[in-house]
Amino acid sequence: MKLVNKFSGCYANVERRMKSGKTRKDMDTPKWQATQQENKAQNKKCKQSGAALPSSDIPSSTPATSAIEVEDEESEASRSVLGNSRSKGQKAAKRKQTEEISLDKLVSMQKDLIEISCDRLSLMKAGAQSTLDDAIMSKDLTLLDAESRAYYQRKKRVIIARELQEEKEREEKEKKEKEKKEVTKKERKAKEEKERQAKEEQNQKETKNNAEEDEDVDEDNDQEVEQDEHKEEVVECEE
């Protein structure tokens, strides 16, 4: 209430001041007087409305409600921050995983390309060597002089020796691959046999345990039957 009265007083003082370009005579003009009367009426109305308000115009529950709302907003803000942080962390982890997968795929593709390039280069080299060897082996030596004939004969012997060596290496390689396949096959069979035996032993063990449990149940049943018969005999004797 004091603040309202103070504000009204300050407002009235400001309104009573002369505006820019006005003189004391202008204050007596009807328009100026009408303005002053209107301002006074407004000030009076503000004072009356301020006086009509009770001293306890704000409920006591308002501060608590405001505090609760503030706490709710803070908790929602904190949850929002945590959610955003968690979402950013998940996105970063997912992006990192995607990058790692892409990098692995790229490395694998590069290895495949290198292997394909090496195979292609080997085939091209073998094709060129085969063409050269065929040209030397099919060379007619009858029209050549002694030195040229000796040169091509030596080349032919080198080609024949190399082909024999390559054939031998190829046979040895095929033999090793065959032996490796047989060893792998035997190991797989041995592993399967071992797993089969282990499974069979497990089944036998389970069967034995089940049989022992059944025997225990039968013994318990026999004991219960004997106890019932004994009770019946005791009852008959008492009668």
Q: Could you tell me if 161 and 234 lie in one domain? A: yes
Cβ contact 57:66 at 8 Å: no
Least confident of 37-46, 47-56, 87-96, 164-173: 47-56
CB 93 within 8 A of CB 85: no
- Count how many domains the chain has: 3
Dist. CA 176–CA 185, nearest whole Å: 14
Angle of helix 61-137 versus helix 146-238 axis, rounded to 10: 140
Q: Which of 132, 161, 191 is the last residue in one of the domains?
A: 132
pLDDT at residue 22 in the model:
54
In a domain, 42, yes or no: yes
| Spatial separation of the C-alpha atoms in residues 205 and 211, rounded to whole Å | 10
CB-CB contact of 152 with 141 (8 Å): yes
**171 in a domain, yes or no?**
yes
Average pLDDT over residues 163-185: 92
Q: Which long-range contacts (CB under 8 A, 24 or more apart) does 152-160 make?
A: 159/133
The reply to whether 88 falls in a domain is: no
Token pair belonging to 4? 């309202």
At 177-231, the pLDDT tens digits run 999 999 999 999 999 999 999 998 888 888 888 877 777 776 667 667 667 766 6
Both 170 and 126 in one domain: the answer is no
> Residue 229 falls within a domain, yes or no?
yes
Which SS3 state, helix, strand or coil, does residue 117 take?
A: helix
Enclosing domain of residue 1: 1-17+33-50
The type of residue at 26 is: D
> For the packed helices 2-16 and 30-52, what is the interaxial angle rounded to 10 degrees?
180
- For the whole prediction, is pTM greater than 0.85? no
Q: Give the C-alpha separation, 56 to 54, whole Å.
A: 5
Whether 38 is in a domain gets the answer yes
Label residue 59 by pLDDT band (50, 70, 90): very low
pLDDT in tens, 86-118: 677 777 777 777 877 788 888 888 888 998 999
146 shares a domain with 125 = no
Same-domain status, 230 and 143: yes
